[in-house]
Amino acid sequence: MLALNHVAQSYGAKPVLSDVSFSLAPGEIGCLLGPSGCGKTTALRLVAGFEQLSAGEIRIGGEVVATTTTTTAPACHLSPEQRRVGLVFQDYALFPHLSVEKNVAFGLHALSATERRQRVAEMLALVGLSHEAHAHPHQLSGGQQQRVALARALAPRPRLLLLDEPFSNLDVELREKLSLEVRDILKHEAITALLVTHDQQEAFAMADIVGVMNHGVIQQWDTPYKLYHQPANRFVADFIGQGVLLPGVVISSHQVEIELGVLEGTVDGDCGEAGGCAQCEQGCPVDVLIRPDDIIHDDASPLLAEVERKAFRGADFLYTLKLPGGGHVLAQVDSHHNHAIGEKIGIRLGIDHVVAFHK
């Protein structure tokens, strides 16, 4: 439904996007995730048609909507209204002087009055706001306003829905709740969507597939599970989730030794120029990614670590633990185990694969 092929964008001499390629199948929800200034919003604007690209090609539903001049074809740039794309913005962009139903009906001029009323009623029922049809935006909560914006974007039956930081103005609890609700709505309607956000929890809650961006380049385009457990490089490992890198030494293609012992399993990561630690000779120094859920609290374990910091998070503690050799790891421990700063607790490793990066 959406395909970007070798897309690049520059503002003057400043490159913003470099060789960006990815695709979304019909009904799939994708996300561009990254820090501010990484180019994700620029990519969304190019898909929407708000900007003309510097290089590459964009297709929506198999139709070329933007391309630069090539040896075989002239440049093409369809206007936003020709692309049949729905848009949901960070600030909702509702018309304050129009009621909820008139906001939703705004893009339905081609329909008859009866068809328009029917479609508006369908959309308000879909987002759970039928009872607010005659209210004005200022009379609604932030979450309700964002639902109205979603209903308005979906009403004209777009081929593709674009969401630009749609929940950033909401508090954390509502953001998580609404992101799950919006995902359910999009899946129910079989809508293909592309989300832009800097919030990885939001990305993981909504998207089927996520592209982690940095400096205008997609570092990894993958499922949330693989981004967390099998990051392609150090940037993705650092940006996604929490964790530490412990120094280690490669023993074999399936073994790496760190302070906590010998890790065995499938070796992932960018270890060695040929790719994968299997090509890294015995004795090769590496950094091994250890996530908080890789460290298991076990009172029976002979390996002890000292509690240096603790963060209570309700259901669990996030402990910063000092290892006997001076290294540090994070551990996610059930909140019933309330240990004091300076206390030593038993730990063991619970890793079924290794993510190692060439030192």
Give the mean model confidence (pLDDT) for residues 126-136: 94
Residue 197 pairs in a beta bridge with 33
The candidate with the shortest Cα–Cα distance to 215, out of 52, 43, 55, is: 43
In terms of C-beta density within 10 A (0-12 exposed, 13-18 middle, 19 or more buried), how is residue 236 classed?
buried
Q: Which of 32-36, 71-75, 182-186 has the lowest mean pLDDT?
A: 71-75
Q: How many CB atoms lie within 10 A of CB 74?
A: 8
Give the mean model confidence (pLDDT) for residues 89-104: 92
Please tell me the CATH code under which domain 2-234 is placed. 3.40.50.300
pLDDT higher than 50, residue 222: yes
**Residue 222, H or E segment:** strand 217-222
pLDDT higher than 80, residue 223: yes
Eight-class DSSP state of 184:
H
Eight-class DSSP state of 355:
E
pLDDT higher than 60, residue 272: no
Region(s) of the chain under CATH 2.40.50.140:
243-358
Sequential DSSP letters for 245-296: EEEEEEEETTEEEETTEEEESEEESS-STTSSGGGSPTT-EEEEEE-GGGEE
Region(s) of the chain under CATH 3.40.50.300:
2-234
CATH superfamily for 243-358 is: Nucleic acid-binding proteins (2.40.50.140)
Tens digits of per-residue pLDDT, 296-310?
Answer: 999 999 999 999 999
For residue 267, the model assigns a pLDDT of: 62
